[in-house]
Amino acid sequence: MKLYHCRDARSLRALWALEELGVDYELVNMAFPPRSTYPGYLTINPLGTVPTLTDGATTLTESTGICHYLAETHGPTPLRVDPSEADYGAYINWLFRSDATLTFPQTIVLRYSRLEPRERRLPQAVEDYSVWYLSRLRSVEAALEDGRSYLCADRFTMADIAVHYALYLGRSLELDARYKPNCLRYLDALTERPAFQRAMARQAEPI
């Protein structure tokens, strides 16, 4: 397997998942945006986005899809919730919610607060989409009530990797000052996992 990755991008979900699984893989660290900084990347992934995971003849480009794929194909692993388990529906819902509901508004915040030239930045859009994202975190805050450490199935799963990344990205956007206590506790606790720390070390390797 080969993972194409940019530091702290959504590909971090896949990198962390690979480290949790302990499978063999090759990491290609790239500068952002890879479509213009990594020669030939558009041939590998015509969208020009990250991540890209290749596994034999299979190519995937969606970060939560990669987490789901890895759990299904490189187990058995407790990171996967089986359809026979009571929390299977919650597990799938969290995987989809992590990107479609949580990470999406952050991309607007990131673009119009940092990536665009100063004359094109939109402070009102940044604030509006920040509030949108933070309001969606109510579901995470509620899921972690009563001291719960994980989102579903009473254990750490791919759903936690997927959702935690949104919280991690929010911290890089300085939105964590408005996080509620459960989200802050969850964010800090999972960053201490050895596999997360290994992923941090791998993405710090020279490009």
Verify that 116 and 39 share a domain, yes or no. Answer: no
CA distance 142 to 177: 18
Q: What is the pLDDT of residue 145?
A: 98
- Which CATH number belongs to the domain containing residue 31 in this structure? 3.40.30.10
Structural domains of the chain, count: 2
Verify that 107 and 185 share a domain, yes or no. Answer: yes
Residues near 62 by Cβ (< 8 Å), separated by ≥ 6? 99
DSSP letters, the chain, are -EEEEETTSTHHHHHHHHHHHT---EEEEEPSSHHHHSTTHHHH-TT--S-EEEETTEEE--HHHHHHHHHHHS---TTSPPTTSTTHHHHHHHHHHIIIIIIHHHHHHHIIIIIS-GGG--HHHHHHHHHHHHHHTHHHHHHTGGG--SSSTTS--HHHHHHHHHHHHHHHTT-GGG--HHHHHHHHHHTTSHHHHHHHHHHTS--
Verify that 183 and 172 share a domain, yes or no. Answer: yes
Question: For the segment 104-149, what is each residue's pLDDT rounded down to a tens digit?
Answer: 999 999 999 999 999 999 999 999 999 999 999 999 999 999 999 9
Q: What is the pTM of this model?
A: 0.96
- Which CATH number belongs to the domain containing residue 114 in this structure? 1.20.1050.10
Verify that 73 and 119 share a domain, yes or no. Answer: no
Residue 162: which pLDDT band, with cuts at 50, 70 and 90? very high
Q: Could you list the residue range(s) of the whole structural domain that residue 40 is in? A: 2-79+195-203
Verify that 110 and 161 share a domain, yes or no. Answer: yes
CA neighbor of 155 nearest in space, from 69, 90, 74 = 90
Verify that 111 and 166 share a domain, yes or no. Answer: yes
Verify that 117 and 183 share a domain, yes or no. Answer: yes
CB 5 within 8 A of CB 27: yes
Verify that 187 and 199 share a domain, yes or no. Answer: no
Verify that 36 and 94 share a domain, yes or no. Answer: no
Q: What is the pLDDT of residue 83?
A: 98
CB 3 within 8 A of CB 27: yes
